[in-house]
Structure 1
Amino acid sequence: MHALSPDSTLSVSGVAYCLPERVIDTGTWANRCGFPKSRASALLRNGVRQFHDAAAGSPVAFACDAVAALLEETRTIPSSVDALVYTHTMQSSVLAPPSGTAALIQSRMGLTRALAFSVMQQNCVSPMAAIRVLRAMSLAERSTIRRAVVVCADVFGSGCDHLRAIQDLALHSDGACAFLLEHDCARNYIAGLQLYTDSRYFRGTDDNLQPVPDDRYYWSAFTTMRTALAQAGITGPELTHVLPHHVNLAGWSRLASMLGIPQERLFISNFARIGHVFGADPFINLRTAPGHPGTWSLLFSSGLAGCFGAMVIRH
């Protein structure tokens, strides 16, 4: 595919996130869920050390805190925001109809001019799906969308603590992340964006609410990333950073080799420190490892139900 021209893309001009102060280590989690010590040991061997626990707090509150931090840090006037998109994975992270979560965040944050809506069902890839929707909208004839805020937030409900683990590869953290998308921004423009859904995994989990093994996971992840790189007109070795989701640390080493990049370019500092914050992981990593002007970063996320997303940014 041809590379996207800079004037046809949006840029990620700012990122902010909000995590609960309470941190639970892997051993404590296994003990309070009644799991054997071997379960905690298996997670620890995969680099899973802890997660942030909201104790069933409000995802809307975390979303608003992330948006407030984003607006303050980027010095963005609320009335200048043309669109607000709320994304999530857990069904419990959205208000039940007829209430509207996006509208509530819009009201609390004073985003009075913004078109507010929600994107879901792509699970941890939903924030990237929101970018794709916003890009298409911004390119439409007579579009007025020049600046948009995307916020993702998820909180495990009470009684669901035993479901935080993704096999022995990750522990879900509660929290929220918000990022600002703008046209005509000199840095962090999105040069490649690829989404893929494997319909074989539409159920997401088995009858015991556990992830269904994906025999083509690595190939699906690799081809999704390779397509995004091709859109940007670059190859894996040209990347300065790969900014992954915080799942399957050992598997990421394999994917780095498949991409042909040195292992040190795989940004993994937040795996053990933060845990898997649903769709927020790659954007939190972008905030942590922002990159130097002129360099390239690849963001990646995958979710249950066979969802994959990759995005290439030129800093």
Structure 2
Amino acid sequence: MPEPVFVRGIASVVGEATPIDSIGVLSERPESLAGLKAKGLSHYAHSHRSPAELALDACRQTMAWASVAPAEVDAVIYASMSFWDKRLYTETDIGWLMDSAGLTNAFPVGVFLPGCANLISSLRMAANLVRAEGLRNVLVVTTDQASPHDENLRVMWPDVSVLSDAAASCLVSFSSGVSDGGIGAFEVCTLLQHSAPAMWDLSADSNLAAFLMGTVKGARHTAATALERAQVPVSDVRKLLTSTYNRAVNEMMARQCGFSPDQLWLDNIPRLGHAFSADTLINLFDSASSDDPAEGEQFLLLATGHKNWGAAVLRKGLFAVPG
């Protein structure tokens, strides 16, 4: 069997908790505001810091919790879909991030096309860099900030969710390592991606019902295929950790994928809404922090983009405590 690869040092940084009532465009559409509240949303995370600035704090925490020095990181996979300012997607910001974090031996790779499924693509790339090229530690960070220039872009209309500014990060390596904090290490059982290019011109604006049906269909296929490859039955999954939208959407998605309500993690809907691609890592950290999983328990991360999906089956591993 191939040597196992682990995800560890999971960390996140979110903006300041802000009531959704404060979003001006929602006050002009009270029916959407009421719908969001009825489906469980209350706050979102707002930050004046750039995606790279959010990412820096998350990456520092990841390295500290994983007890990995910056010089031991061989690559940085930087995932974002925040392209409203040119500096956010050029060498400038990633260079600043790597210099500030002391990543003197790493090279950068950018991920953006899977949208809110960026994390799974990044984990897959990181795992393959470790397996195929023997890299010691690959730092993965997904980070986004909604455009401050147009409040309409903060809301997923009509009442699907509200976008939060956040970053989440982790290390991928052969070692489960030591832990100075956090939730420890998770073995990567399966990483899977799925795309539906025929949905290219379908959106919530053009046909909300068809868009949601297509999204759920893609999620169901992705979840089932990932679990089949990992040889993990639905009943053996401790928690389903999805992209975070609202209670109605997330409960429907879980039900369509064959999961029971107690397997679904929904606690971040009121405080965060949808934190782009960071959702699933944030949800894994928070769920594991609140209910310490035992060694061997399995989790399904299910990320949903507009036309792309990604899934990761992770198994809680052992880690050594220094000292």
Tell me if both proteins adopt one fold, taking TM over 0.5 as the criterion. yes
Instruction: Number of aligned residue pairs: give it.
Output: 303
Shift of 1:256: 2.6
Q: Which residue of 2 aligns with 1:47?
A: 40
Q: Which residue of 1 aligns with 2:67?
A: 75
Contact 1:27/1:37 (CA < 8 Å) preserved in 2? no
Aligned mate of 2:302, from 300, 303, 306: 300
Shift of 1:212: 7.7
Corresponding residue SS for 1:149: strand
| In structure 2, distance between residues paired with 1:98 and 1:252 | 34
| In structure 2, distance between residues paired with 1:64 and 1:84 | 12
Q: Which residue of 1 aligns with 2:21?
A: 27
Distance verdict in 2 for CA 1:39–1:297, change over 3 Å: same
Distance verdict in 2 for CA 1:178–1:197, change over 3 Å: same
Q: Which residue of 2 aligns with 1:235?
A: 233
| In structure 1, distance between residues paired with 2:134 and 2:93 | 23
Write out aligned runs for 1:1-315 (5 A).
5=1, 7=3, 9-21=4-16, 23-29=17-23, 31=24, 34-55=27-48, 57-92=49-84, 95=87, 99-140=91-132, 143-167=133-157, 168-185=159-176, 187-203=185-201, 205=203, 213-290=211-288, 291-304=293-306, 306-315=307-316
Corresponding residue SS for 1:299: strand
Structure 1: stretches of 5+ with no match in the other structure: none
CA-based RMSD of the aligned residues comes to 2.3
Corresponding residue SS for 1:200: helix
| Partner AA of 1:148 in structure 2 | V
| Partner AA of 2:173 in structure 1 | E
Give the TM-score normalised by structure 2. Answer: 0.86
Distance verdict in 2 for CA 1:119–1:212, change over 3 Å: farther
- CA-to-aligned-CA distance 1:43-89 (integer Å, 9 cap, x gap): 1112121101114x311111111111212222211111111111012
| Partner AA of 2:176 in structure 1 | C
Contact 1:87/1:120 (CA < 8 Å) preserved in 2? yes
| In structure 1, distance between residues paired with 2:165 and 2:131 | 34
Corresponding residue SS for 1:260: coil
Give the TM-score normalised by structure 1. Answer: 0.88
| Partner AA of 1:262 in structure 2 | S
Corresponding residue SS for 1:72: helix
| In structure 2, distance between residues paired with 1:281 and 1:95 | 24
Shift of 1:34: 4.7
Provide runs of 4+ in structure 1 moved above 4 Å.
Answer: 203-208
Contact 1:169/1:249 (CA < 8 Å) preserved in 2? no
Distance verdict in 2 for CA 1:97–1:261, change over 3 Å: closer
Structure 2: stretches of 5+ with no match in the other structure: 178-184, 317-323
